[in-house]
């Protein structure tokens, strides 16, 4: 199915497996069951399917372990989609003291700025660069 989420695919696959178990008493080996699920995933899952298939113990994994890995990857993707709406403050890494209001109240420095302080910090960086440029000719003499 085109816009199916991972849980829908897994549910449908479990249903399909239970139906085949009703008709086929012999069953399928784990590797074949896992391969069919991973091959049925949409193309956005290709890299994860390859990573799972490339694991040393892939041939001995049962379906539950493979599904668990897929769910973990999906959770990781969702966390990355949310991301951070914060901007890093490069002055933290260069040892330049920050005069932002959010750092004044805390005992430790953070590399992240809130978006509302970004314009103030950009102005401070411009002023700092101008001060450095004014000092550089004196150092060259």
pLDDT of residue 119: 64
Position with higher pLDDT, 39 vs 91: 39
H helices within 24-117, ranges in order?
30-40, 46-53, 63-82, 91-94, 101-104
For the chain, give the mean pLDDT. Answer: 77
pLDDT of residue 9: 92
129, 134, 137, 138: CA torsion to nearest 10: -120
The SS3 call for residue 89 is coil
pLDDT for 140:
47
The total number of residues shown for the chain amounts to 141
Long-range contact set of residues 99-104: C-beta below 8 Å, sequence gap at least 24: 99/124
Mean pLDDT of 6-30: 86
Q: Which two tokens stand for residue 127?
A: 């002023």
State the pLDDT at residue 52.
94
Sign for the CA dihedral angle at 111, 117, 119, 124 comes to negative
The mean-pLDDT minimum among 87-96, 101-110, 130-139 falls in 101-110
pLDDT 10s digits, 24-69: 767 788 899 999 999 999 998 999 999 999 999 999 999 999 999 9
Give 58 or 101, the one with higher predicted confidence: 58
Average pLDDT value for residue range 112-137: 66
| 57 burial type by CB count under 10 A (0-12 exposed, 13-18 middle, 19+ buried) | exposed
Of 99 and 23, more confident: 23
Burial class of residue 34 (count of CB atoms within 10 Å of its CB; 0-12, 13-18, 19+): buried
Quickly count: other Cβ atoms within 10 Å of residue 32's Cβ: 10
């Amino acid at each position: 199915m085109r816009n199916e989420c991972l849980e829908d695919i897994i549910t449908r696959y479990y249903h399909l497996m239970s139906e085949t178990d009703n008709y086929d008493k012999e069953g399928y080996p784990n590797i074949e069951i896992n391969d069919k699920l991973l091959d049925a995933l949409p193309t956005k899952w290709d890299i994860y399917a390859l990573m799972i298939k490339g694991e040393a113990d892939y041939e001995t994994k049962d379906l539950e372990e493979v599904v668990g890995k897929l769910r973990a990857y999906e959770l990781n993707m969702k966390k990355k989609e949310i991301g951070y709406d914060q901007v890093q403050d490069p002055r933290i890494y260069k040892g330049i003291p920050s005069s932002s209001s959010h750092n004044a109240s805390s005992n430790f420095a953070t590399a992240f700025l809130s978006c509302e302080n970004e314009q103030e910090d950009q102005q401070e960086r411009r002023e700092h660069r101008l001060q450095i440029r004014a000092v550089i000719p004196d150092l060259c003499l």
